Amino acid sequence: MQRPSFLFRRTTMRRAIVEGIAIYVVGVLIALVPPGFWPAPIFPVVLVARLALWAAAPVWAAMRVVSTRREKMSRRFWTLGPLLALYCALANVVIALFIGEAAQPFGGLLYGPDVARFGAHGAAALSPGAFAVSMLAQLGLLLVYYTIAVICTRLANGGFLRFTMPAGDGRVTL
């Protein structure tokens, strides 16, 4: 009989990716809510939750995938981070085009849908090139972080980071 802590990890790679994307999208959508909407005591918690949702997507996806007993880092886990980053970046592009982008660092809708800003003039104007550069920069950040997060999560879950010391009868496993 398996321990209950491992029951929630049993899922396919596809479902883990969908769950990771959903976590990321919830974080992006929370960032679009104006800061004045949140009560003042709750707002710092909202900022921490946004950061946690952004950072939790690759860790959650890597923990949820079923793996064999001896599998630590196979090809599918090496590609999980970049694949999840690509899908999250595409979700971010869709949200930015049709809803808008969040103002940094506190959130709130910046100008409105980027599709409407492509033809605008003045402060709200946005060129397709500037939009592409912005989205590619976010993709680069997601690629780096999500790849490192998936690798570290898989290595930590597989017991790779454990070692035993000292040799002899008084062994301690860390």
In whole angstroms, give the CA distance from residue 150 to residue 146. 6
Task: Report the alpha-carbon distance of residue 62 to residue 16 in Å, rounded.
Answer: 7
Q: The dihedral of CA 94, 96, 98, 99: what is its sign?
A: positive
| Mean of all residue pLDDT scores within the chain | 85
Position 74 confidence tier, pLDDT thresholds 50, 70, 90: confident
Q: Which residue has the higher pLDDT, 157 or 23?
A: 23
Cα–Cα distance, 67 to 51 (Å, whole number):
28
Number of domains present in the structure of the chain: 1
pLDDT in tens, 23-45: 999 999 999 999 999 999 999 99
- Whether the model clears a pTM of 0.85, i.e. scores above it, the answer is no
pLDDT at residue 158, as a whole number: 59
Supply the range of the domain harboring residue 83. 4-173
- Omega cis (within 30) before 58: no
Please report how many Cα atoms fall inside a 13 Å half-sphere around the Cα of residue 143, on the Cβ side. 8
